[in-house]
Amino acid sequence: MNKLVIRKVLSAIVIVLVVIAALYVYLVAEPSTMSEEVETAGEIVEEIAEQAETADDIDPMMIPLCKGGKDHERRNYHGYSICYRESYEQAEWAAECLTREKLQRKVNRSENFRPDEGISTGSADTSDYYGSGYDRGHLVPAGDMGWDSEAMNDTFLMSNMSPQNHKFNSGIWNDLEMQVRNWAKKFGTIYIVTGPVLESGKKYKVIGKNR
């Protein structure tokens, strides 16, 4: 089977299991089980990846679609892409390709949180999070971009942020980010798509002046 197909299939598996593990642990499991659940998800991913090496009936899986129009804006950055939703003031998804080579850290975390001036309708602002009780949660992790200063800096654009409970952000989400880097180290190249659950027509709690 074509190696590119295998990697794309693996990326889809990673996405699904990351979301399932995160939701399960955050909503159901006790905090002490976080690392255990991430480890279990990792074992499943690796088992399926090994099976995919001999599979020949799986179609290639590509980057998600961004519908276009005023509420869907596709933007490309150094190292990743997003589909920005103005109605939610955050990205519907953020996609990156993480390789073993990119794990070689050359630059430190920048902490340069700032609005994304490239979003035509305007992005969320850092002030939207002040006093909200929520973290500015990265979709594409800064930890994946230590290979380049521009890539690192781009991850701190507010268009790459989603409001996250601090316990979730520093716990299971951080565990998952580290596990994904372990998969990149083991498999060489993986494709990652991350995003919030945005249900059409559903009203969500909002924060800040940009809502």
Catalytic residue IDs = 138
Type of residue numbered 89: E
CA 18 to CA 160: how far, in whole Å?
18
Measured CA distances, 51 to 58, 119, 181 (Å)? 12, 41, 21
Angle formed at CA 143 by CA 141 and CA 144, multiple of 5 degrees: 75
CB burial readout 145-179, b (16+ within 10 A) else e: bbbeeebbbbbbbbbbbbbbeeebbebbbebbbeb
Give the DSSP H or E segment for 80. strand 80-85
DSSP class of 37 = H
CA 95 to CA 82: how far, in whole Å?
6
Contact 77, 91 (CB under 8 A): no
Contact 198, 85 (CB under 8 A): yes
